[in-house]
């Protein structure tokens, strides 16, 4: 066979022993598969999993509203057949092996198979957790804990259940916001609540807390933290939870202390189920029918699937209530609306990624290089592979290749490290030359200033030019340097000596815009906040000029009604000239951002802080001097200006909405008219 | 007094106004922000759900638009699971079978007809196998469905401005029939007195089956109020109940797919129902899409490339291939697996004369449904070709279709030479700081380099398509209006010299020309007309790209005009090879100046210019519809699988079986296949030629362009792979060159393909070695056995 392909085949053989089903594996899949790039955006990739089989029933037993699915060590499937009040056990070929708890269970929801081969079933209606042997014998049951610690008003409506190897039962109870209930399986004792989801405290809530009465506070439901929706436990005893409708930490990997040790860039807004695969990869199913595969560290490898919406195609879902991974890496997704289980098997590409990932996670970066290269051959945009390859190169001390790979992966930490190494090498080779150049420049400057002092060539040229042409604009522009040394004097000059003009100030605003754009799009990769290929220059333009205009106008308006002395031109120029430190220092910041790494980031941060505080001080002085206010008045004016800005923005928004409404109204009338005339 | 006071203190007033503004805005701020959160009463104790109650369902609100989903249709008579017990075989010629009178016969078939409902029975004279066309004793259901199941022709009609379609058949609507028999069949005039609609059906026995026709001119509509909307023609021909019979239905989905005749336990609620030649964007609203992070997470299903469908009953060894000869441009093919509404497996063609469409009435919401004004302009003619005995399988259907195409000159046998297809990607655009920036991926000299390197390595026979050669690249430069190659691609070689060089080296280099799309972001004020749908809105072809979010379609007249304008341009620049895409696999109805035009008008525009190009250039078409097959030198991007519908039981390479040895067929790109080993085996099995999309630069440069879906294409990484594919597939091709497939079988994951020169190819898709017919085939491999 093909040389490269032979390798792949071999790898597949290592990873899986599956039979290929030719009728379904190569069809045009209904869904696209995406992976995450270094920025956390989705990019398309090869199909990661294809459906090999669909199970509609075990034997002749159909499912109804099935809500959970687990797989035991022998590969048998356990389906929590909620609608029929029982647990069905079957093989992956759809044969029925047994029915558990038919007379005991009322409405089983979550199930779990513990390490010592017991089946735990959470029953909402019975409000109990039942324990069965895998043969179906009822071993024990746990009701509402009577401990005082449990809380007298706390509810016990078990939805999901999990058990660790120390026989602690973790129970998610509907409506119990205290956290996950932890019960010891041997003694039945309530141990405590495990890792509650915390509410995010916003300034608004703080404000409310300050002014609301006790009663009002008690009525605010968003004070109650959202409960976890589902949970699972991996071989090492780490608890994984998913929570719906939260904007961060929707997926958590909890250590023994109950704190989250994972951070994900992207996740489903409504995760419904979670499982951990053989490589410690995390599989999450969303209620909308999307399936996500993450690495154990939370990097998204693949996302695929989706809602069926009448497309009638294999691999789509009405809804997913449970997802399970078996030891071969096959996925089983339970659909409670279509009442079926779809079995997905990994493609050759996915097996290759997993192979590389195994080596990478074991720290065997060098061995992982080859499979990563093969992944990249198949998909150059697979950023996680670029990252892995970068690490491999870095270990080999091939920093240039590492730099390229990290850059492609948009992995800033790695890029910074590789760049640091390269810069080090370059510095070592060129430090002498640099010193020579610095020395040369220094000497040159000395000579020039001495010559100038002696012959005054530049000075006479300047005065000559001055006589000949009227260079007011140039002088106005150069005047900005006085802002650095004598700000108060300069504002006096602006006010009384006409040292600036509207034109010169406008030119400086343009300069500000240019610097702003340069900083935004041409800072070094490590420090850039925008993504590659993202340009919004029109918006930038409107923003810079809009903000300047708004602030200056509002300030002017407030000043005029508060006995300020400044004319518009003075305030305009004063504002713009207050940015003198920005104009002088920012270019260096932009240049240096291209040669600095994260190790020296404090330098940049400090410089920026320095620039902005200086500008702020200059503005305050400007307002005070130009209008001849006292300090107290100045502060008042600044606050009033801010308020005026708020009102102005509000006003603009209202006008915009009204105009848009009106336009859409006229368009509708016109269309209706045209239609009526045409269909006479 | 007051006035004086006010004048005295303007400052106070301003302060007052400011104060008011502060108060008002703070009220607004607080009110808008938190009111929804405080309204709820005490935190309710969650109710314990009663058994049997549906679990509380949280509807995620992440979708952009909530798709409108039709409620699943009611399922009828599924509990009546008893078998039907109609005779599969009838021993000898009868006067009457099930109320059908003997009408006529030829050397192979006998035809029986029942005048009451114009139902026919076909009997194979050799085996005695019969095929029924209507249901004799339908399952219990409402009158409308009962009449439907017993009818041979069903007419759908619209009433007034009502948008619901009604049905009139051989019983409903009380038709008056006037049947005249002749030696080859019969003619029937059918008149619905209440609707004042009449039409004529002609059924003629042919050598291997029969033809059913309804000419358009015979359809009379004498009442303003009632308008014909469509026809089902022999919807139940070859039907079977639940799992009574063995066999399958063949649907032309992508490469072809089978739905087995079986009892589905009612798990499929909806049928397969697709327009022949793809959806009609001029009328049908696109599938409402729920975007996933601003992207479309779904792949479109495959289009129907050829107007055929079939039914095979393997237990009695009889089957038919339905070929829509006339009316295919407004036809649907519908296949109902048992349990989708009725407990029967049935497949049929449906013809559409009038449709309703959505007319938006305001800018962002509100629309009304409107009826199409004129009847689409076509006759109905469906040919049913029967296959029997050892031919009663899907290969028999493919062979029948192949013979039909050849006999009717719908396709000509082309020279069958082995080529590997190396498509080169020129350039695309990405956003820049001020202007859009060119992203050159393969310059003309790099292209020449790539092709020369391959030839030097022994890859002699190359066919190549240059995509994105025009100014502004593949998407920015739409439509192509002049021969103006992108300047960023001309480093030290021009396109003309590249063309010349490839001619000398015997490489067929085709220039890619998308004649369908126009990029209005770049050509806002172009004088070319843009296609408008029936509701007078422009159709947008949404691609959700990084630079352009959507394109528009050209008016067919403009497509033709542009191609005509380009013709001398191409000739003057010595371009001999053209690949036309876009118009080769899209057909739509459109409106212009308050007039409505159907798909046949579009087809006529396209066919005229394509045949013109075919006579001037070496022409290839991208995934062409069957009506264009005779013009193309090769079929590009032939689908190798189906769309994977839930009710599909098996994919079959129907198109490849039909066309192998007649027209060269090129696969979809190897680059983007996740299962490359299996894909390679499929190329071996179907006799497809491999295709690669190649760039010189790394495709990561394309990430910010509209072509960001190209994630793997760099030549350095593909050089070896191309050679491997080339040498292996060429070797097989040498043994099967110009031959047609004479048999095709599958068993235990091994496919056996027999060619008419005696060569046999075994393909093993399994991960263990298999011995078949005395040959051992290695796991995931193939074996070619040369004919005697």
The alpha-carbon gap from A588 to the nearest alpha carbon of chain B, in Å, equals 21
- Residue pointed to by tokens 């850039």: A528
Average pLDDT over residues A403-428: 93
User: Measured between CB atoms, does B678 come within 8 Å of chain A?
Assistant: yes
List CB contacts (< 8 A) between B301 and chain A: 28, 30, 311, 313
Best mutation target among A20, A156, A648 (most B Cβ atoms within 10 Å) is A20
Q: Is any Cβ of chain A less than 8 angstroms from the Cβ of B703? A: yes
Query: Rounded to an integer, what distance in angstroms lies between the CA atom of residue B263 and that of residue A150?
Result: 53
Digit-coded pLDDT (tens) for B602-627? 999 999 999 999 999 999 999 999 99
pLDDT at B8: 45
Contact A620, A630 (CB under 8 A): no
How, if at all, do strands B689-694 and B666-669 pair?
parallel
Characterize the bridge pairing of strands A33-36 and A42-45: antiparallel
Higher pLDDT, B188 or A174: B188
B613, part of any domain: no
What pLDDT digit, counting tens, does each position of B446-491 carry? 999 999 999 999 999 999 999 999 999 999 988 999 999 999 999 8
Mean pLDDT for chain A overall: 87
Per-window interface: B 161-200 vs A, CB < 8 A: none
In this prediction, residues A428-442 reach a mean pLDDT of: 93
Measured in whole angstroms, how far is the alpha carbon of residue A115 from the centre of its chain?
35
pLDDT confidence bin for B289, thresholds 50/70/90: low
- Examine the pLDDT at B408 and tell me if it is beyond 90: yes
The helix (H) or strand (E) run that includes residue A428 is helix A412-455
Task: Tell me whether domains A50-346 and A349-469 share a fold.
Answer: no
Residue B354 domain flag: yes
**Is the per-residue pLDDT at A25 higher than 70?**
no
Instruction: Determine what percent of chain B is predicted with pLDDT higher than 70.
Output: 90
| Residues in chain A within 8 Å Cβ distance of B725 | 2
Residue B55 in contact with partner chain A when CB distance is under 8 A: yes
Tell me which chain B residues have a C-beta less than 8 angstroms from the C-beta of A285: none
Q: Residue B224 pLDDT more than 90?
A: no
- In the numeric block, the tokens 């007298």 are attached to A152
Of residues A24 and B747, more confidently modeled? B747
Instruction: Return the number of other C-beta atoms located less than 10 Å from residue B312's C-beta.
Output: 26
List the 649-668 stretch of B: residues with Cβ below 8 A of A: 649-651
Task: Say what percent of chain A tops pLDDT 90.
Answer: 55
Q: Please give the average per-residue pLDDT across B277-290, as a whole number.
A: 81
Residue reference for tokens 């007649």: B662
Please determine, for residue A223, whether its predicted confidence score (pLDDT) is greater than 70.
Answer: no
Q: What are phi and psi of B12, to 5 degrees?
A: -60, -40
**Cβ <8 Å between A348 and B67:** no
Are B26 and B149 in a shared domain? no
Its sign, for the CA torsion A285, A286, A292, A295, is negative
CATH number at residue B325: 2.70.98
CA B228 from chain centre, in angstroms, equals 26
Instruction: Write out the two tokens for B78.
Output: 């599924």
Q: Which residues of A touch B766 (CB under 8 A)?
A: 19-20
Which chain B residue lies closest to A85 (C-alpha atoms)? B51
Question: For residue B53, is pLDDT > 60?
Answer: no
Interface test with A, best of B17, B40, B256, B298 (most A CBs within 10 A): B298
Q: Which of B376, B407, B438 is the last residue of a domain?
A: B407
Based on the fold, state whether residues B305 and B442 are members of the same structural domain.
no
For range A332-357, the mean pLDDT: 93
Query: In angstroms, rounded to a whole number, what is the distance separating the alpha carbons of residues A544 and A509?
Result: 8
Check CB contact of A342 with chain B, cutoff 8 Å: no
Name beta bridge partners: A171: A161, A181
Q: What is the mean pLDDT of residues B210-215?
A: 95
Q: Is the pLDDT of residue A547 over 50?
A: yes
DSSP H/E element including A558: helix A537-560
CATH of domain A50-346: 2.120.10.30
Q: Do B672 and A46 touch (CB under 8 A)?
A: yes
Question: Is B592 inside any structural domain?
Answer: no
Specify whether domain A349-469 bears CATH 1.10.10.60. no
pLDDT number for residue A131: 94
- The answer to whether the CB atoms of B644 and A29 lie below 8 A apart is yes
Percentage of residues in chain B having pLDDT higher than 90: 60
**Is the pLDDT reported for residue A157 higher than 50?**
yes
The dihedral built from the CA positions of residue B556, B557, B562 and B565, taken in this order, carries a sign that is positive
Find the residue in B nearest to A538 (Cα): B434
Q: Which residues of A touch B698 (CB under 8 A)?
A: 380
> Do B400 and B440 lie in a common domain?
no
Q: Are A67 and A322 in contact (CB under 8 A)?
A: yes
Is residue A602 less than 8 Å (CB to CB) from chain B? no
Domain assignment present for B232: yes
Which helix (H) or strand (E) segment holds residue B597: the answer is strand B595-597
CB contact under 8 A, A42 and B676: no
**A44 interfaces chain B, CB cutoff of 8 Å:** yes
pLDDT in tens, B105-147: 998 999 999 999 999 999 999 999 999 999 988 888 888 889 9
Residues B339 and B443 in one domain: no
- Residue B267's Cβ-count burial label (10 Å; 0-12, 13-18, 19+) is middle
Cβ of A380 within 8 Å of Cβ of B700? The answer is yes
Is the distance from CB of B753 to CB of B732 less than 8 angstroms? no
Please name the residue that has the structure tokens 């602006």.
A494
Mean pLDDT of chain B: 86
Q: Are residues B238 and B351 in the same domain?
A: yes
Tell me the shortest Cα–Cα distance from B118 to chain A, in angstroms: 34
Whether the per-residue pLDDT at B49 is higher than 70: the answer is: no
Tell me how far apart the alpha carbons of residues B257 and B251 are, in angstroms, rounded to a whole number: 5
- Position B57 scores a pLDDT of 36
The pLDDT value given to residue A248: 81
| B 744-763: CB under 8 A from A | 749, 751
Residues of B in contact with A340 (CB under 8 A): 267
Residues in B closer than 8 angstroms to A124, CB to CB, are: 48-49
Cβ-nearest to B677 among A5, A24, A535: A5
Distance CA B391, CA B317 (A): 8
Q: What is the pLDDT of residue B365?
A: 66
pLDDT at A196: 72
Q: Is A401 exposed, middle or buried (0-12, 13-18, 19+ CB in 10 A)?
A: middle
3-class SS of residue A221: helix
User: Are B746 and B725 in the same domain?
Assistant: no
- Pick from B62, B302, B714: CB nearest A288: B62
B330 and B308 within one domain: yes
- Model confidence at A246: pLDDT above 50: yes
pLDDT at B85: 79
Give yes or no: residues B706 and B766 share one domain: no
> A643: closest CA among A581, A536, A561?
A561
Residue-range definition of the domain harbouring residue B475: 422-461+463-506+665-734
Report the DSSP pairing between strands A322-325 and A331-335. Answer: antiparallel
Residues of chain B numbered 356-385 and touching chain A (CB < 8 Å): 359-364, 366, 370
Q: Which residue has the higher pLDDT, A86 or B293?
A: A86
Q: Which residues of B touch A559 (CB under 8 A)?
A: none
Q: Across the interface, do A23 and B651 touch by the CB < 8 Å criterion?
A: yes
Residue (of B226, B152, B222) closest to B188 by Cα position: B152
Are A381 and B50 within 8 A, CB to CB? no
Q: How far apart are CA A86 and CA A111, in angstroms?
A: 11
Chain B nearest CA to A479, separation (Å): 31
| In a shared domain, residues B183 and B233 | yes
Note whether B349 and B329 are within 8 A (CB).
Answer: no
Nearest alpha-carbon partner for A344 in A358, A359, A356, A334: A334
In angstroms, rounded to a whole number, what is the distance separating the alpha carbons of residues B248 and B321? 12
B9 and B139 in one domain?
no
Residue B72 has pLDDT above 80, yes or no: no
Please compute the mean of the pLDDT values over residues B631-655 and round it to a whole number.
Answer: 91
Q: Which of A25, A245, A561 sits opposite B678 (nearest CB)?
A: A25
* Interatomic CA distance for residues B458 and B452, integer angstroms: 10
> Are residues B307 and B331 in contact, defined by beta-carbon separation less than 8 angstroms?
yes
Partner residue opposite A27 with nearest CB, options B296, B651, B712: B651
pLDDT range class, residue A475, cuts 50, 70, 90: confident
- Shared-domain flag, residues B201 and B293: yes
User: For chain A, what percent of residues have pLDDT higher than 70?
Assistant: 94
Position A563 confidence tier, pLDDT thresholds 50, 70, 90: confident
Helix (H, G, I), strand (E, B) or coil at B310: strand
> What whole-number distance in Å separates Cα of residue A335 and Cα of residue A129?
24
Contact indicator for A171, A143 with CB cutoff of 8 Å: no
Do the chains contact at A221 and B546, CB–CB below 8 Å? Answer: no
Does residue B102 form part of some domain?
yes
What is the structure's pLDDT at A463?
A: 82
Q: Is residue B303 part of a domain?
A: yes
pLDDT at position B26, please? 67
Cis peptide before B479 (omega within 30 of 0): yes
Query: Residue A495 has what DSSP assignment?
Result: I
Interface test with chain A among B430, B675, B683, by most A beta carbons within 10 Å: B675
Selecting from A8, A269, A312 the residue whose C-beta is nearest the C-beta of B645 gives A312
**Structure-block tokens of residue B505:** 């080296």
B646 touching A, CB under 8 A? yes
B406, burial (CB in 10 Å: exposed 0-12, middle 13-18, buried 19+):
middle
Question: Is residue B524 situated within a structural domain?
Answer: no
Domain total of chain B: 4
Contact state of A310 with B651 under an 8 Å Cβ cutoff: no
Instruction: For chain B, say whether A432 makes contact (Cβ under 8 Å).
Output: no
Split at pLDDT 50, 70, 90, the class of A516 is very high
Contact A25, A50 (CB under 8 A): yes
Domain edges within chain A: 50-346, 349-469, 470-656
The per-residue DSSP string of A48-76 comes to: -EEEEEEE-EETTEE-SS--EEEE-TT--
Burial B512-542 (b: 16+ CB within 10 A, else e): bbbbbbbbbbbbeeeeebebbbbbbeebebe
Q: Is residue B573 situated within a structural domain? A: no
Given CB atoms, is B65 within the 8 Å cutoff of chain A? no
pLDDT of residue B81: 62
Does A404 touch chain B if contact means CB atoms closer than 8 Å? no
Q: Encode B473-510: b = buried (16+ Cβ within 10 Å), e = exposed.
A: bbbbbbbbbebebbebbbeebebeebbebbeeeebbbb
Mark whether B106 and B214 lie in a shared domain.
Answer: yes
* Chain A neighbors of B19, CB-CB under 8 A: none
- Interface membership of B299 toward A (CB under 8 Å): yes
CB A676 within 8 A of CB A669: no
pLDDT of B66 reads 36
Burial class from Cβ neighbours inside 10 Å (0-12, 13-18, 19+) for residue B694 reads buried
> What is the full DSSP assignment across B199-248?
EEEEEEEETTEEEEEE-GGG-EE--TTEEEEEEEESTTTT-EETTSS-EE
Which CB contacts under 8 angstroms, 24+ apart, belong to B325-328?
A: B325/B211, B325/B381, B325/B382, B325/B383, B326/B213, B326/B378, B326/B379, B326/B380, B326/B381, B327/B351, B327/B378, B327/B379, B327/B380, B327/B381, B328/B276, B328/B277, B328/B627
Separation of alpha carbons B729 and B706, rounded Å = 33
């Amino acid at each position: 066979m093909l040389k490269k392909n032979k390798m792949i085949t071999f790898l597949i053989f290592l990873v899986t022993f599956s039979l290929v089903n030719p009728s379904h594996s190569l069809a045009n899949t209904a869904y696209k598969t995406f992976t995450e790039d270094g920025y956390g955006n989705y990019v398309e990739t090869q199909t990661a999993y294809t459906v090999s089989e669909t199970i509609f029933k075990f034997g002749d037993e159909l499912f109804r509203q099935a809500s959970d699915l687990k797989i035991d060590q022998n590969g048998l499937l356990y389906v929590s057949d909620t609608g029929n009040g029982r647990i069905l056990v079957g093989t992956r070929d759809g044969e029925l092996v047994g029915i558990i708890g038919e007379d005991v269970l009322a409405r089983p929801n979550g199930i779990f198979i513990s390490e010592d081969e017991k089946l735990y079933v959470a029953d909402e209606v019975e409000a109990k957790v039942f324990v069965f042997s895998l043969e179906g014998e009822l071993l024990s049951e746990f009701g509402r804990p009577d401990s005082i610690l449990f809380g007298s008003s706390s509810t016990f409506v078990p939805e999901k259940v999990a058990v660790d190897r120390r026989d602690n039962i973790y129970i998610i109870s509907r409506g119990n916001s205290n956290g996950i209930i932890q019960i010891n399986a041997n003694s039945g004792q309530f141990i405590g609540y495990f890792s509650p989801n915390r509410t995010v405290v916003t300034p608004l809530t703080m404000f409310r807390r300050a002014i609301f009465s006790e009663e009002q506070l008690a009525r605010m439901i968003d004070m109650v933290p959202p409960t976890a929706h589902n949970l699972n436990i991996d071989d090492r005893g780490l608890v994984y939870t998913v929570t719906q409708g939260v904007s961060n930490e929707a997926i958590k990997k909890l250590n023994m202390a109950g704190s989250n040790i994972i951070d994900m860039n992207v996740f489903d807004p409504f995760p419904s189920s979670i499982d951990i695969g053989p490589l410690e990869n995390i599989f999450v199913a969303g209620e909308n029918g999307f399936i996500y595969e993450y690495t154990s560290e939370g990097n998204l490898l693949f996302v695929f699937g989706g809602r069926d919406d009448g497309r009638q195609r294999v691999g789509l879902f009405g809804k997913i209530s449970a997802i399970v991974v078996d030891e071969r890496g096959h996925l089983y997704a339970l659909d409670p609306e279509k009442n079926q289980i779809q079995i997905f098997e990994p493609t050759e590409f996915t097996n290759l990624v997993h192979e590389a990932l195994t080596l990478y996670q074991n720290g065997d970066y060098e061995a992982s290089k080859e499979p990563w290269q093969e992944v990249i051959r198949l998909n150059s945009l697979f950023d996680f592979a670029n990252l892995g390859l970068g690490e491999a190169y870095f270990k080999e001390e091939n920093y240039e290749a590492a730099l390229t790979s990290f850059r492609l992966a948009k992995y800033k930490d790695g890029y910074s490290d590789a760049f640091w190494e390269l810069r080090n090498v370059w510095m070592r080779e060129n430090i002498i030359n640099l010193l020579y150049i610095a020395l040369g420049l220094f000497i040159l400057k000395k000579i020039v200033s001495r010559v100038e002092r002696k012959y005054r060539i530049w000075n006479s040229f300047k005065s000559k030019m001055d006589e000949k042409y009227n260079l007011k604009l140039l002088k106005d522009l150069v005047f900005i340097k006085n802002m650095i040394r004598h700000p108060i004097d300069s504002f006096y000059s602006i006010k009384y000596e006409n040292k600036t003009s509207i034109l010169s100030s406008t030119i400086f605003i343009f300069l500000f815009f240019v610097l702003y754009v340069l900083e935004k799009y041409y800072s070094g990769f490590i420090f850039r906040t925008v993504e590659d290929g993202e340009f919004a220059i029109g918006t930038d333009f409107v923003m810079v000029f809009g903000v300047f205009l708004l602030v200056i106008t509002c300030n002017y308006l407030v000043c005029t009604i508060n006995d300020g002395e400044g004319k518009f031109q003075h305030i305009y120029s004063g504002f713009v000239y207050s940015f003198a430190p920005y104009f002088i220092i920012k270019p260096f910041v932009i240049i240096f951002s291209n040669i600095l790494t994260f190790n020296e980031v404090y330098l940049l941060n400090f410089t920026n802080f320095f620039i902005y505080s200086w500008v702020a001080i200059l503005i305050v002085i400007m307002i005070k001097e130009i209008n001849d206010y006292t300090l107290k008045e100045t502060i008042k004016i600044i606050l009033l200006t801010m308020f005026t800005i708020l009102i102005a923005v509000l006003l603009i928004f209202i006008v915009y909405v009204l105009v848009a409404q009106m336009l859409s109204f006229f368009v509708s009338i016109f269309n209706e008219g045209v239609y009526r005339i045409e269909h006479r | 007094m007051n006035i004086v006071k006010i004048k005295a203190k303007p400052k106070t007033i301003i302060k007052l106004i400011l104060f008011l503004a502060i108060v008002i805005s703070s009220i607004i701020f607080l009110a808008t922000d938190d009111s929804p959160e405080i309204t709820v009463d005490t935190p309710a104790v969650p109710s314990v759900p009663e058994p049997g109650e549906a679990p509380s369902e949280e509807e995620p609100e992440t979708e952009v638009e909530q798709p409108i989903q039709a409620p699943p249709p009611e399922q009828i008579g599924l509990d009546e699971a008893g078998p039907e017990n109609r005779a599969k075989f009838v021993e000898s010629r009868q006067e009457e079978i099930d109320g059908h009178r003997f009408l006529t016969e030829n050397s192979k078939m006998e035809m029986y007809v029942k005048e009451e409902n114009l139902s026919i029975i076909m009997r194979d004279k050799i085996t005695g196998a019969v095929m029924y066309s209507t249901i004799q004793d339908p399952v219990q259901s409402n009158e409308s469905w009962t009449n439907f199941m017993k009818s041979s022709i069903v007419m759908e009609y619209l009433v007034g401005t009502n948008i619901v379609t009604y049905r009139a058949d051989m019983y409903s609507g009380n038709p008056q029939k006037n049947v005249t028999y002749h030696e080859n069949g019969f003619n029937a005039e059918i008149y619905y007195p209440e609707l004042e609609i009449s039409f004529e059906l002609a059924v003629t026995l042919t050598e291997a089956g029969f033809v059913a026709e309804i000419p358009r001119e015979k359809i009379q509509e004498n009442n303003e109020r009632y308008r014909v909307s469509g026809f089902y023609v022999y919807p139940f021909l070859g039907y079977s109940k639940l799992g009574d019979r063995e066999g399958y239905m063949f649907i032309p989905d992508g490469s072809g797919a089978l739905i087995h005749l079986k009892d589905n336990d009612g798990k499929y609620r909806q049928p397969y129902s697709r327009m022949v030649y793809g959806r009609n964007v001029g009328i049908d609203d696109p599938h409402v899409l729920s975007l996933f992070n601003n992207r479309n997470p779904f792949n479109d299903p495959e289009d129907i490339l050829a107007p055929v469908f079939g039914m095979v009953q393997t237990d009695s060894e009889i089957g038919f291939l339905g070929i829509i000869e006339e009316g295919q441009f407004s036809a649907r093919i519908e296949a109902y697996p048992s349990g989708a509404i009725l407990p029967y497996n049935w497949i049929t063609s449906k013809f559409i004369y009038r449709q309703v469409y959505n007319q938006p009435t305001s800018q962002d919401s509100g629309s009304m449904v409107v009826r199409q004004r004129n009847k689409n302009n076509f006759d109905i003619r469906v040919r049913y070709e029967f296959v029997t005995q050892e031919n009663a399988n899907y290969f028999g259907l493919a062979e029948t279709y192949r013979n039909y195409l050849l006999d009717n000159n719908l396709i000509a046998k082309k020279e069958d030479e082995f080529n590997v297809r190396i498509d080169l990607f020129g350039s695309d655009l990405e956003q820049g700081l001020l202007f859009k920036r060119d992203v050159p991926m393969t310059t003309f000299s790099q292209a020449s380099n790539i092709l020369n390197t391959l030839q030097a390595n022994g890859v002699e026979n190359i066919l190549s398509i240059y995509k994105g050669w025009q100014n502004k690249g593949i998407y920015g430069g739409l439509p192509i209006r002049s021969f103006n190659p992108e300047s960023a691609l001309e480093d030290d070689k021009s396109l003309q010299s590249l063309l010349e060089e490839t001619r000398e080296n015997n490489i067929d280099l085709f220039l890619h020309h998308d004649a369908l799309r126009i990029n209005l972001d770049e050509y806002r004020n172009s004088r070319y007309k843009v296609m408008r749908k029936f509701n007078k809105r422009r159709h947008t072809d949404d691609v959700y790209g990084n630079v352009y979010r959507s394109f528009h379609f050209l008016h067919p007249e403009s497509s033709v005009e542009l191609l005509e304008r380009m013709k001398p341009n191409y000739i003057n620049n010595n371009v001999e090879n053209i690949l036309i895409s876009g118009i080769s696999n899209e057909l739509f109805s459109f409106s212009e100046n308050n007039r409505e035009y159907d798909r046949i008008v579009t087809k006529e525009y396209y066919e005229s210019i394509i045949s013109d190009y075919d006579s001037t250039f070496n022409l290839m078409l991208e995934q062409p519809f069957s009506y264009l097959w005779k013009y193309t030198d090769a079929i590009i991007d032939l689908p190798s699988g189906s769309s994977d519908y839930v009710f599909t039981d098996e994919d079959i390479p129907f198109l490849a079986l039909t066309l192998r040895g007649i027209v060269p067929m090129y696969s979809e790109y190897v680059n983007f296949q996740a299962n490359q080993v299996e894909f390679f085996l499929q190329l071996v099995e179907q006799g497809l030629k491999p295709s690669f999309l190649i760039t010189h630069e790394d495709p990561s440069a394309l990430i910010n362009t509209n072509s960001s879906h190209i994630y793997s294409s760099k030549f350095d990484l593909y050089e070896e792979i191309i050679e491997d594919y080339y040498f292996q597939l060429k070797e097989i091709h040498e043994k099967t060159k110009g031959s047609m497939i004479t048999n095709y079988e599958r068993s235990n994951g091994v496919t056996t393909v027999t060619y008419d020169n005696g060569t046999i190819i075994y393909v093993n898709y399994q991960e263990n070695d298999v011995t078949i017919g005395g040959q051992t085939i290695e796991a995931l491999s193939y074996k070619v056995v040369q004919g005697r």
